[in-house]
Structure 1
Amino acid sequence: MKSPFPKSSSVAGEGRIIVKLSPNHVSSLESITYQYPLKLISPASSAEQGSVLAFLLSYGGGLVAGDRIHLFVDVQPGARLSIVTQGHTKIFRSIKPDIVTRQDLNVEIKDGAALCLLPDPVQPFESSVYEQIQIFRLTANASLCLLDWVTQGRTALGENWSLARWIGRNEVWFTPQNKNTQDRLLVRDTVILDSANRPAGSPSLQESMYGHAVVGTLILRGPMTKSIGEFFLSEFAALPRIGGRDFRSAEARQKDEAILQTSLESWRIKRLQEEKDRHILWSAANVRGCIIVKFGAATVEAGRNWIGSMLLREGSIEKHFGEQALMCVR
């Protein structure tokens, strides 16, 4: 019997979020749609929040081998959106190497708009195969704060980078106002973790991670992230350098240290000690107007505490997007 209902045009795993600026200058949700296994939730927003909050979820707390997620995000002029998760995005094992779990994110951020994407890290299980592509298109005055990080797996079960393959690619494009001008690629950052296809004689994937339980990338672009970007660059420039020597006398050092014991200096000294104790390594660089921060930590919580403390200390992300944008890094 032929169904009297029209054929559905929806696609499994596809979702869309559109955020606009309302007449009273408050960011609001214009529409949100999703299909299994993707799930999106957006609590009611208010002017005090600073941005629309959306939770990126999946049924069962993870993605089963072969799942496909396609999320499209449109942040219209002047609007602000924060995307978070409610825990690690779990990637379940694949029974065959050619059964790939995929997640694609396509984002357009218009003039004066901003997106803050600070999720919990991805947690790939043993023998999982995962590929992720995230593409962001920004106009000249648009802003982006993106955190992309991955853990070693379930340590309680003895997993230590036991995944089969994990590929993550982030692209940031500049979209000019003139429609006759082509978009320009600013950053293409790709991380490939492959336990099987390794060059002959090279260390295993576990050995090549040098004891890190989590590795991540923070990408900052636009006027709303200018302050936090400069903060990371200045703190990276202040890190002790190998071979650096202090030629001052002990008395002169003590005098200068007493003068420099400001709130920031005290926090920095404490943070440097924690970075040493918790085996946190990181770097920051300016690439075509984007600030790229790379980091790794010996434990997931150490990595979370570090990136969270940096963002909270500087304060501009919380100021522009609201404290709820930082819930995954607290």
Structure 2
Amino acid sequence: MVTPSQGNTSDIKPPPGHGKITCHLPPGAKKPTFSTFRASYPLKFLTPKTHKPNLAAVYFLSYGGGLVSGDSICVDVEIFQNVNLMLLTQGSTKIYKQRAQKECVNDSNDGLQTEPKNLSSITRQSLNAYVHESSILLQLPEPTTCFRDAEYIQSQTFSLENNASVVILDWFTSGRMSRGERWEFAHYESGVNVLVGGKLIFRDVVLLQNENEGENNISKINSRLKPYECFATLVIYGPKVISLTNHLMNEFDKIVVDKMDKIADLVWCASALHMEEENVRGVVIKVAGITTEIVRRFLVGVALKGLDEVIGENLFERAL
């Protein structure tokens, strides 16, 4: 894994937690280059080598392997014509627990006084992406995992020109299941907006606000969502993924709705996105699974089947 050369990296240092990526394909070239590639602590970018023409990839990393209370991450991405860009993470995005209130010493005219000062704040992350025509942006991170008492807000906005394409995966788990934590975070909110030609065609917000209930002090989210431990939203849109869109709509049409004797290990549904006359330009997939691995297998084997033709088999396997 390598970083871009200094000639393609701006010397302007962004504010803490901010990053910017600009990617274009020079005339006659087969590999995209980064004209802007910068990030500041606790955010870091790495880019691996790719073998497919017109394809570049960027890993988003954070020091310490996750986001702590009060972190605010903001990334701007712009890809120009004929670029295929993948945005990845090396592991699940871990959201650590919210810091408790602390005390500080205030030096006033009356002498030293101890006053409570709330140093905690919600952990935030935002992505703003602009995709030019004949390009595709593939946002394929690992799932978000919120620890006990964590508070997290995420927003993602994708602005596409009329002939651009996008694949957006937004998924999250119930928490650190190996530690017995299931839906014990305080607040989780994730929003996705997709605009085409300046027109909003898709908006989705997942909001989970937790509180305990009952004699066993079980969280409301746990009691309502069990036995499912992982949820995913997948948005696929544009001419470069039209075959994948048609494949998913055909697979969903094969499903027979019937009464079940037991809860299924995985459930999913598909909805057409942005109909133009009788042509479906995209699809939205919603998935729930009893484990993260079951959802992952569905994404790799069904929902994103054939995407390796765009990004290459090796990188596709590493992505998910």
1:279 is aligned, of 262, 265, 288, to 265
Sort the Cα spacing of 1:197 and 1:112 in 2 relative to 1 into closer, same or farther, 3 A: farther
Q: Aligned residues: percent identity?
A: 30
Sort the Cα spacing of 1:304 and 1:49 in 2 relative to 1 into closer, same or farther, 3 A: farther
Alpha-carbon distance between aligned partners in 2 of 1:49 and 1:20, rounded to the nearest angstrom = 13
Larger relative contact order (CA 8 Å, sep ≥ 6): 1
Q: Does 1:215 align with 2:231?
A: yes
1:148-168, Cα deviation, whole Å (9 max, x unpaired): 000011111110011100000
The answer as to whether partners of 1:125 and 1:159 remain within 8 angstroms in 2 is yes
1:82-128, Cα deviation, whole Å (9 max, x unpaired): 11111111000003596100000000000101111111100110100
Q: Helix, strand or coil: the match of 1:156?
A: helix
Q: Which residue of 2 aligns with 1:131?
A: 153
Alpha-carbon distance between aligned partners in 2 of 1:167 and 1:129, rounded to the nearest angstrom = 9
Alpha-carbon distance between aligned partners in 2 of 1:277 and 1:53, rounded to the nearest angstrom = 38
5+ residue gaps in structure 1?
1-7, 176-182, 245-275
Q: Helix, strand or coil: the match of 2:22?
A: strand
The answer as to whether partners of 1:49 and 1:322 remain within 8 angstroms in 2 is no
Q: Could you tell me how far 1:197 is from its partner in structure 2?
A: 9.7
Alpha-carbon distance between aligned partners in 2 of 1:32 and 1:9, rounded to the nearest angstrom = 11
Name the amino acid aligned to 2:319: C
Sort the Cα spacing of 1:20 and 1:49 in 2 relative to 1 into closer, same or farther, 3 A: same
1:278-328, Cα deviation, whole Å (9 max, x unpaired): 61000000122431000010001111111111146x31x111122314523
CA RMSD between the two structures:
2.2
Q: Does 1:113 align with 2:135?
A: yes
Deviant stretches of 4+, over 6 Å: none
Q: Could you tell me how far 1:212 is from its partner in structure 2?
A: 0.8
Q: Does 1:321 align with 2:311?
A: yes
Alpha-carbon distance between aligned partners in 2 of 1:29 and 1:194, rounded to the nearest angstrom = 42
5 Å matches for 1:33-182?
33-46=38-51, 48=52, 51-96=55-100, 99-175=121-197
Alpha-carbon distance between aligned partners in 2 of 1:225 and 1:194, rounded to the nearest angstrom = 35
The answer as to whether partners of 1:15 and 1:35 remain within 8 angstroms in 2 is yes
Q: Helix, strand or coil: the match of 2:192?
A: strand
Q: Could you tell me how far 1:240 is from its partner in structure 2?
A: 1.7
Give me the TM-score of the superposition, normalised by structure 1.
0.79
Compare the two structures and name the one with the higher strand fraction.
2
Q: Which residue of 2 aligns with 1:187?
A: 202
1:242 is aligned, of 235, 258, 280, to 258
Compare the two structures and name the one with the higher helix fraction.
1
Residues paired across the two proteins, number = 277
Q: Could you tell me how far 1:196 is from its partner in structure 2?
A: 3.0
Alpha-carbon distance between aligned partners in 2 of 1:124 and 1:222, rounded to the nearest angstrom = 32
The answer as to whether partners of 1:14 and 1:71 remain within 8 angstroms in 2 is yes
The answer as to whether partners of 2:14 and 2:38 remain within 8 angstroms in 1 is no
Q: Which residue of 2 aligns with 1:224?
A: 240
Q: Which residue of 1 aligns with 2:16?
A: 12
Q: Which residue of 2 aligns with 1:248?
A: none
Q: Which residue of 2 aligns with 1:305?
A: 297
Name the amino acid aligned to 1:93: K
Name the amino acid aligned to 1:123: T
1:118-151, Cα deviation, whole Å (9 max, x unpaired): 1110011010000000000001110001100000
Q: Could you tell me how far 1:193 is from its partner in structure 2?
A: 1.0
